[in-house]
Structure 1
């Protein structure tokens, strides 16, 4: 089976591409390297540097492809608040460009990496797919708009697509920097080095953290659903964890005593997030296999191995 993975050099894209190669797939990768790093990809991945809005390149890469995994996107929430036009151009515009190219070439199957961020601030937890989206950032808006395009075009053009609303993915290989500091790798790195951990708010904000291998399992399973019609499925652990709880685990795993600074909370995110994964269990046969502490330990071991 031949597949195209957009955003192939990104955090999730790298793990997905490598898993598909191991499973015997022919993997065509596309990435503009604005955030991704190709060094983690297996050499069998046929990687092309190109932008997601390059329709001519998409026509070329889609030849003979059976399924598209669409992961390419800008993903930094604070950045999206400052530069919403860029997120509309790449996340939404890129999705539409890809859909047009798929139609032109005759490809009718897609798995889209959406985000749990589309739910925004909700009164009830855990979050079901039927909840009315209330996106709290331009990033979340861009993911929701892409879902609408995919499902609308699916009806009009006969596209078979599954949109996976992925919650807070983490694990080995996750990139972090001053501008983009995912909670788990940042806390582990700072705790291990006796550095400073900055928490925005009181630390009681919760998220649903899902290990990268479990995310990849869901993506692969979604590609095998028979004739999906406007399917939207949550992918998370089904467990709600506070930032303070992640901090405690980071200290335990690293035996570190970092300085912890509580700052004013930043706009653009809800106080609570937890995925209802009933539909993922039913339609994908999905079951999260990696508990948070185990996943954080493996992430810490990866960080330490490369730090040395």
Structure 2
């Protein structure tokens, strides 16, 4: 699901490249038709409508559930939309997948569920402290997955992504990522806009590493029933990210519901999945800046 979106389209590309037959569900409300791999079977459906999506899951071995309304600020402005897409949508996809006899269900979770913690890095054993509707609905969706595994013996895996960036990331509008926004501002010769004082730190994970984690989760029997962090184990302040862009920046007001720091403990991902992140934010930004010259 969400195979026309930023992360989902990269996952579809990699699965097609590896010889899998791929079926994409996306309502194109945020995804782009141009992102859809031409060798994938595209179904224009809305995951909020269970009856319509049920037939799409017939004959499917593995479901990667990425369709969502991402980002914190839109969920604060419109919590209803976050709830119906992120929680009801996940419930519907789980129901449809279970009914169709799907063998593995990989859920795209979020590090936002941790909220502010007194310890760092963030391990999966910490009690979640969601600070906004998006984080809460992502946590509740994880709990749905766990319940389907515990009650119905339906094999689910929850991956908690840390600040994903990379090619095809949204660069403008409510769903844009900070790295995407900065690159867009740099390309337009505008000053970068840094939220708050820029000291907040994030563990930025390249989309190719997230894709690899999904495929490793599909292949791992040990991962079933687990919640697993997907990050790099290194973080940057937003000021440091702005500094990598080699241009001026200005500060804008703090936003509600945001955490001060994310930093993934990825020891569980290493142990269970054999996950090894390969791309660093600094190297990737340098590559993008060279393309602008």
TM-score scaled to structure 2, two decimals? 0.96
Which residue pairs with 1:296 in the alignment? 285
Report if the CA contact (8 A) 1:170-1:212 is conserved: yes
Q: Are 2:133 and 1:144 aligned?
A: no
Aligned residue runs from structure 1 range 98-177, under 5 A? 98-177=93-172
Q: Describe the shift of the 1:20–1:172 C-alpha distance in structure 2 as closer, same or farther (beyond 3 A).
A: same
CA distance 1:264–1:119, shift in 2 (3 Å): same
Matched, 1:246 2:235: no
Equivalenced residues, count: 293
User: How many Å separate the matches in 2 of 1:301 and 1:105?
Assistant: 47
SS for the counterpart of 1:165 is strand
Deviation at 1:69, TM superposition (A): 0.2
Is the contact between residue 121 and residue 271 of structure 1 (CA under 8 Å) also seen in structure 2? yes
C-alpha distance in 1, partners of 2:77/2:184?
Answer: 27
Counterpart CA distance in 2 for 1:267 and 1:87 is 16
8 A Cα contact 1:189 1:300, kept in partner = no
Matched with 2:272 is 283
For the structure 1 residues 262 and 99, does the alpha-carbon distance in structure 2 shift closer, same or farther, using more than 3 Å as the test? same
**Which of 208, 225, 232 is the equivalent residue of 1:230?**
225
Match of 2:219, SS state, is coil
Q: Distance in 1 between matches of 2:265 and 2:11?
A: 23
Deviates more, 1:128-137 or 1:49-58: 49-58
State the distance in 2 between where 1:299 and 1:116 align.
26
1:187 aligns with 2:182: yes
- Does 1:55 pair with 2:44? no
Instruction: Output the CA distance in 2 between the equivalents of 1:140 and 1:44.
Output: 34
Does the alignment pair 1:18 with 2:18? no
Higher strand residue share: 1
> Once superposed, what is the RMSD of the aligned Cα atoms?
1.5
Distance 1:301 1:105, change over 3 A: farther
In 1, the alpha carbon distance for the partners of 2:43 and 2:224 equals 30
Distance across 2 between alignment mates of 1:92 and 1:301: 41
1:160-206 superposed Cα distances (whole Å, 9 cap, x missing partner): 11100001010011112132331112112212332022111111000
Counterpart in 1 of 2:258? 269
Contact in 1 for aligned 2:70/2:175 (Cα 8 Å): no
| Residue in structure 1 matched with residue 87 of structure 2 by the alignment | 92
Unaligned runs of 5+ in 1: 1-5, 252-256
* 1:172/1:228 CA distance change after superposition, 3 Å: closer
Structure 2: runs of 5+ lacking an equivalent: none
Give the whole-Å Cα distance in 2 for the aligned partners of 1:228 and 1:191. Answer: 40
Q: Which residue of the partner structure matches residue 67 of structure 1?
A: 62
1:45 alignment counterpart: 40
